[in-house]
Structure 1
Amino acid sequence: MLAPAIASAQESSASPLTLGGAIRFNYVHKSWQDEYRSGFFGLDTARLDVKYDDGRLIGSAQYRYNNYPDGQGGYWQHFLQHAWGGLRFDDGSELHVGLDKNRFGLQPFASNNFYESIAFYAGLEDKYDLGVTYLSRPGPVEWQLGFYPRDGGSYGGGSNTAGASNRYSYNIVADDAEQGYGTGQTDRERNTVIGRLAWHVGPQGNHEFGVSGLTGEIDNGRGADTRRHAAAVHYRGSYGRIGVMLQATRYRYRTAHGPEQTYGGLDPNSFFMIGGFGYPFPVASEGDIHIANISYDLPGRLGPFSQFKLYNDYSVLRKRNTAYRDSVQNVTGMSFSSGKWSFYADLMIGKHHPYLSPDLGGLASTSTAHQGFTRRINLQAGYYF
């Protein structure tokens, strides 16, 4: 007779507010950096998490501080990753208001590895904007709809970062004359609408098929607004210990740049500037992103370590401007954990990619001097509390 009363008292005394965070360290080796033949080690992220959930009122926020060693830019920055409050309705559906995640494509990520996929660097994965999001009740069929009048905003960083790019999400941003490409482009994202529909089928709903759509304005700061569009189809499935993720995305961004808003003599409307983590880079205005990931969950433990996952994540950006070379990213790796510690060991191989190549063309036009594949090794240890 006393047990239910004790359990009820414990539940009622539990606070709906929880605080947490993480601190992460990385070792990185880049095959193209001769001055750092032994790689480099340093702090990756320190972050604070706040969550609230009393059953009806809900909310979540996260603030981050990054500090990277010289081999990875030698800079620091801080930014709000997300911050929203909302309601959970009786049927389990939710309404969020604030800086919230874009529900586009595979969720919560289109990847298994720490560096995510090419879609992330093109602003179409793990992205947060300011607006209103509705999430339907859980079930075999679910849908999400969001309207975002503004992007996630920019925050602070060192003197060697681009102010407009001090942010977590890769948004369209104004170029920077000192830390960017000096194009003079001043585009911003405005009034974005995103819808997503997913079907869960199978014995435990372990196969998901989905479609997503995005449309929004591009404010170029010169009185000539244009539009951007994207659409994706995706599949996520589990076959015992094997996991599969597939996604195909097509996007088209219309811009209204003047002839002087370019670099290297390129067509100024064949690319737009996107920025995050301190720096902007160009992305082809039209392209297709293909993602194919496979993973395997290893059973058992090895000493204090468990939850081993092996994976290979492949993504490619095929640019519809035939003069631009495709950007490729392949990550082979393993993740595992021990208590509050989480670990990644990734081998990244790619080309024509801002994080995987010495050429400076971002995800748009790239140098003919760097045609081959280059490598990046990333080893990470993170403590989550």
Structure 2
Amino acid sequence: MNFRKLCKNIPSRIFLLVVFMTLGTVVSVAQEIKEDYVKFGGALRYNIYDKSWTDDKTDPQFAWDTWRLNVDARTSGVDLSFEYRFYPGDDTHFLHHGYLGYAFNENLYMKLGVTQVPFGIGKYASHCWWFQMPYYIGLEDDYDAGITFEYKGIKNLILDVAYFRQAEPQGSPNFSARYSYDITSSDDASIKELNQFNIRAAYQLTKNVELGVSGQVGQNYNTVLEEAESSTAFAGHVVANFGKFNFKGEYIRYDYGAKDNLGNTLDKVQMGAYSYDYNVAAKADVYVAGLAYSMDVEFGPISNVQAYVDYSIIDKRKAGFKSSQHLIPGFLITAGSIYTYVDWAFGKNNAWLGAWTDGLAEGSPDADWENRFNVNIGYYF
């Protein structure tokens, strides 16, 4: 694919897309005019944790996880959604999302700004506080800067089409300060993500079963070489509800094509978020499965307890690279606007569970299963 030619045609392609989708819904009933409003909210979250891979004598610890500010508003039919997060323990802060939204009619909705990338299971592929492995390689709950369209004009089908010019903006204190994982520049490879297109289709097979496919294609641009390599990802997913059970399953195949500053093809790329960087295999298959069971209870302020187990694996396609695994049993306790995740996270060749720099890249054949017991308490308002 000729990406330079593609990028030159971006404005005309987006214009044609809007015209096509709008014409397809012109017979829809005109949307009801809604009143203007401004709503403020936020959250405070704390962690209690104990890690297996350190000899820190202060474990277990009680730490401030995050606090955040939310603003949602509407004026003259245009919506605003904004969220900014602060992580005192990591001394970092950044934008989570910020966009303007507009409903052309009841079937077509547009978002412009920093929005969630339509890929795979939405909104999360996980039940636990830890997410699943796709999050840590930029393929779950990812946010970028661009424009998205959601179309609901076909029975039982939701179609998302998006174009993202670049990753979300930098927070503080460095380029990697951001909520979701993106490819970041290293000393040897000055790379940034550009010109990403996404399409996602989610079909409601039955009342309780959703099937979906996703495609993503973009560029990893080397600013020294002034050249770009194609970056692709494809996914298939299923979400099913059976009584009080919920199942999420997903398969992803990705290829983060990239070159270093000398023109060599990379087997691993540097990715960053929360002001931290680590390496990730450039090519892999990812398998995701999660099962949850929800129970309504009457125990003081507690109204619901959801037990779950989430598992995912990154099967790397470079010879000699060892797979990365992620297993999270736990439960979520709901008490009004207070949500408490109690997780016992296990990981092997897992960056956030004891194998930092290259766990998600080449890994180690001698890697042990490490674990972290974690309780996250969040009050949302």
Normalised by the length of structure 1, the TM-score is 0.86
Give the 4+ runs in structure 1 shifted more than 4 A.
12-15
Aligned 8 A contact 2:34 2:77 in 1? no
Does 2:230 align with 1:215? no
The match for 1:377 is: 373
Normalised by the length of structure 2, the TM-score is 0.87
1:152-301 matches, within 5 Å, as: 152-157=168-173, 163-175=174-186, 183-202=187-206, 205-222=207-224, 223-258=226-261, 269-301=266-298
- Aligned-residue offset at 1:26: 0.4
Specify which of 143, 146, 166 is matched with residue 128 of structure 1: 143
Cα displacement string for residues 306-337 of structure 1 (whole angstroms, at most 9, x for unaligned residues): 22100000010000012111000010010011
Question: What letter is aligned with 2:275?
Answer: G
The match for 2:25 is: none
Task: Specify whether residues 77 and 361 from structure 1 end up closer, same or farther in structure 2 by C-alpha distance, changes over 3 A only.
Answer: same
Specify which of 116, 123, 133 is matched with residue 101 of structure 1: 116
The match for 2:349 is: 352
CA distance, structure 1, for counterparts of residue 356 and residue 296 of structure 2: 41
SS in 2 for 1:323: coil
Does 2:70 align with 1:49? yes
RMSD: 1.9
Specify which of 146, 170, 183 is matched with residue 162 of structure 2: 146
- Aligned-residue offset at 1:14: 7.2
CA distance, structure 1, for counterparts of residue 293 and residue 269 of structure 2: 37
Q: Extract unaligned runs of 5+ from structure 2.
A: 1-32
Task: Specify whether residues 187 and 251 from structure 1 end up closer, same or farther in structure 2 by C-alpha distance, changes over 3 A only.
Answer: same
Cα displacement string for residues 124-169 of structure 1 (whole angstroms, at most 9, x for unaligned residues): 0111100000011275111001000111021113xxxxx1111111
Identity %: 28
Aligned 8 A contact 1:102 1:126 in 2? yes
CA distance, structure 2, for counterparts of residue 151 and residue 284 of structure 1: 19
Aligned 8 A contact 1:131 1:148 in 2? yes
Cα displacement string for residues 51-84 of structure 1 (whole angstroms, at most 9, x for unaligned residues): 124693212110000022xxxxxx3100001000
Aligned 8 A contact 2:278 2:356 in 1? no
Specify which of 112, 127, 133 is matched with residue 118 of structure 1: 133
Aligned 8 A contact 2:50 2:372 in 1? yes
Question: What letter is aligned with 2:117?
Answer: N
Q: Extract unaligned runs of 5+ from structure 1.
A: 1-11, 69-74, 158-162, 176-182, 262-266
- Aligned-residue offset at 1:258: 4.4
Moved more, 124-133 or 359-368: 359-368
